[in-house]
Structure 1
Amino acid sequence: MSNSHLFLKSGFIQTPLQNGLGRYIPQLQRVTLKFCKNKGGSRGMRDFIETDLMDFAKSNPGTVVYLKPKRHHAPVMVAEYLNGEREYLSCHQFSRDEIQKWLTYLCTRSGIPVMRFRKYQHTDYPTIQGVWNPFTHQAPEANTSEFPNAILSRPAHEAPTASEQLVEIFKRTKISDETKETEK
């Protein structure tokens, strides 16, 4: 077990103003790409700016992109979020694809700093069974099958519908009524 969590801030789960409840508001406010026009470590950043920056700007209209050429400096991405947080990412020797992936990552973040989550409850005897999730007792065949799948899509037990149950009750009462009439 690692103890790297000891150096992280701890806190409770926060959501940015119930984002996505009515509509989704991207939390990334602006991105500043700092790079050198000549230095070799900025080559991936320059390639990204030449080829993919316009596509990124069109797909993220709510994010402002600033370009700052800085002579003799390593490339850096600075992301500023709506909650006031800033995140710096050194892009020294990154390829164009790596810069695009990191930029996508920064766009999907909420801006809340990475932290160790705390719980509201505590127990002196933690479970040894592990944590439950919705996929705990699912069939392992679902991992490798192609969907839609006729076998996995049908219900686990074929329970009769409410209409079928009513028809069955009606048939039983009709038969019991007929047997009472024949006995008279």
Structure 2
Amino acid sequence: MSHSHLFLKSAFVKAPIQNGLGRYVCQLQRITVKFCKEHSDSKGARDFIENHVIDFAKKNPGIVVYLKPRRHRAPHIKLEYLNGETEILGIKCMSEHEVAQWLEVARGSSGQPVARLRKLQHTDHPSIQGVWTPWTNVPPQANVETFPSEAYRAPQREQSATERLQEIFRRQQQEQQQQQQAEPA
């Protein structure tokens, strides 16, 4: 078992109340990109600013983007969220694509600090069976099968009683039409 959770704060789930129920409210409100115009550590930040920052700002009109050139300082991004939390993201020696990916992660996060989630229930004898998923009892041959496949096609069902009655009714109507066509002649 991993002991990495020992260094995390423990907390209950604190999600923004009903976010997305009426409309989605992006929790990230302000981005401040601090970079050096000359130093090589800021090359990824400068490339991101030249190539991607305008597109990012157009796609996310609810997020304010500030650019601050700072001489002889390591580049970083300050993220400010709606709940008042701030986060500093160091982008030293990152490429422009890595900076863009980290901003996408920040845009989708809630701003809550990372914490070990606690549950409201406890048991002294936890289950050893594991979590059930729809793929728990699927045979391993299905992993390499190309779908659609005849081997996994659903079996043809028998005709239902309603369908039988409809077929009998259609036959009776056809017989009546044939009899009516034969009588006048």
**Contact 1:142–1:152 (CA<8 Å) still a contact in 2?**
no
> How far 1:113 moved relative to its partner?
1.2
State the one-letter code of the partner of 2:74.
A
Q: Does the C-alpha gap of structure 1 residues 33 and 140 become closer, same or farther in structure 2, counting only changes over 3 Å? A: farther
State the one-letter code of the partner of 1:2.
S
Q: Does the C-alpha gap of structure 1 residues 120 and 134 become closer, same or farther in structure 2, counting only changes over 3 Å? A: farther
> How far 1:49 moved relative to its partner?
0.2
> How far 1:18 moved relative to its partner?
1.5
What CA distance in whole angstroms lies between the structure 2 residues aligned with 1:146 and 1:25? 41
Deviation beyond 4 Å, 4+ runs, structure 1: 138-147, 150-155, 157-161, 165-169
> How far 1:14 moved relative to its partner?
2.3
TM-score by length of 2: 0.77
State the one-letter code of the partner of 1:82.
L
Q: Does the C-alpha gap of structure 1 residues 160 and 84 become closer, same or farther in structure 2, counting only changes over 3 Å? A: farther
Q: Secondary structure at the match of 1:29?
A: strand
What CA distance in whole angstroms lies between the structure 2 residues aligned with 1:158 and 1:28? 52
TM-score by length of 1: 0.78
What CA distance in whole angstroms lies between the structure 2 residues aligned with 1:18 and 1:160? 47
Name the residue aligned to 1:181.
none
| Percent of aligned pairs with the same amino acid | 53
Q: Secondary structure at the match of 2:88?
A: strand
Unaligned 5+ segments in structure 2 are 166-185
Name the residue aligned to 1:81.
81
Correspondence 1:36 to 2:33: no
Q: Does the C-alpha gap of structure 1 residues 37 and 6 become closer, same or farther in structure 2, counting only changes over 3 Å? A: same
> How far 1:144 moved relative to its partner?
5.7
Q: Secondary structure at the match of 2:55?
A: helix
Superimposed CA distance per residue, residues 48-106 of structure 1 (whole angstroms, 9 cap, x where no aligned partner): 00011111111111110010111110000111111111111111100111101101110
Number of equivalences: 165
Q: Secondary structure at the match of 1:92?
A: coil
Superimposed CA distance per residue, residues 99-150 of structure 1 (whole angstroms, 9 cap, x where no aligned partner): 0110111001111111101111111111111122344345656656677x47
Superposed CA RMSD in Å reads 2.6
Superimposed CA distance per residue, residues 8-42 of structure 1 (whole angstroms, 9 cap, x where no aligned partner): 11111222112111211111101110101111100
Name the residue aligned to 2:19.
19
Q: Which has the larger radius of gyration?
A: 2
1:76-155 to 2 correspondence within 5 Å? 76-138=76-138, 149=148
What CA distance in whole angstroms lies between the structure 2 residues aligned with 1:56 and 1:146? 39
What CA distance in whole angstroms lies between the structure 2 residues aligned with 1:64 and 1:144? 47
What CA distance in whole angstroms lies between the structure 1 residues aligned with 2:108 and 2:144? 28
Q: Out of 129-138 and 10-19, give the one that drifted further.
A: 129-138
Q: Does the C-alpha gap of structure 1 residues 3 and 73 become closer, same or farther in structure 2, counting only changes over 3 Å? A: same
Name the residue aligned to 1:57.
57
Name the residue aligned to 1:68.
68
State the one-letter code of the partner of 2:70.
K
Q: Secondary structure at the match of 2:5?
A: helix
